[in-house]
Amino acid sequence: MKYETGTVVIWFSCGAASAVAAKLALDRFGKDRCRVVNNPVIEEDEDNRRFLGDVQEWLGVPIEYAHNPEYPSCSAEEVWGKRRFMSGPQGAPCTLELKKKARQHWEIENDYDWLILGFTLEEKQRSDRFQKTERRNLIPILIEEGYTKDDCYREVMRAGLELPRIYKLGYPNANCIGCVKATS
C-alpha cells in the first residue's frame, strides 16, 4: 500500500476542496497519523474563520496554525507595504509570504512525511508542477479519488456544513475578497 507509514500533514485553506481532502485523509490514514494546518490571512473573508471551526468539528481534530515569523500579523497589506508591490507575473507576494513561506517554515520546525493540498481533478497539472518543483512527497488525494471542485462543494453540503460566504459571492476559491492574483 502506498503511503502506509509516516505523518501526513493536510494544508487546510478554508476552502471546500481542502476540507474534503482533510476528511478523506483522516478516513484513509487515521487521526493518529494526520495533522491539519491552516495559514491564516487576516484579509480573507471573516466567514472563513466560521467555516474553519465547522470543519474542525466535522473532522474531530484540532486545526493548527502556521505563520511566517517575518509577518506575525498574517496581513497581506503588511506584505504589500514591505515588498512594495501587490502582484506580478510570478504571482502575489502575499501568497508567497503568508502561504508558501509559512508552510515551509512549519515544515522545517515539524516532522512529517507526506503532505496533502486541496488540488482537485481540474488541477492535475498544478499538482504535477508542485510535485516537480517543490515537493515529491505530495499525496494528490482528491485527484486519486476523482474529486472535482463541484464534488467537494457537494460533499461539504452533504456533511451539513455551510460553505464559506465567499463562494456565494461568486468566487471560485475561499481566498481574500478582491484577491490581487485572482483571474475571476
Strands (E), the chain: 8-11, 34-38, 63-65, 114-116
pLDDT tens-digit series, residues 62-107: 999 999 999 999 999 999 999 888 888 888 888 999 999 999 999 9
Which of 37-41, 103-107, 142-146, 172-176 bottoms out in mean pLDDT, i.e. has the lowest? 172-176
123: its cell numbers = 488541477
Domains and CATH numbers, the chain: 8-168 (3.40.50.620)
Q: Mean pLDDT score of the chain, rounded to an integer?
A: 93
Yes or no: say if 164 and 14 are a contact pair by the CB < 8 Å rule.
yes
Yes or no: say if 71 and 79 are a contact pair by the CB < 8 Å rule.
yes
What letters, b where the CB count within 10 A reaches 16 and e where it falls short, cover 64-100?
Answer: eebbbeebeebbbebbbeeeeeeeeeeebbbbebbbe
Output the pTM of the full model.
Answer: 0.94
Q: Kindly tell me the sign of the dihedral angle through the C-alpha atoms of 133, 184, 92, 19.
A: negative
pLDDT tens-digit series, residues 153-171: 999 999 999 999 999 988 8
- Count of CB atoms within 10 A of residue 24's CB? 19
What is the reported pLDDT for 122? Answer: 97
Q: Identify how many contiguous H helices and E strands the chain contains and give both numbers.
A: 9, 4
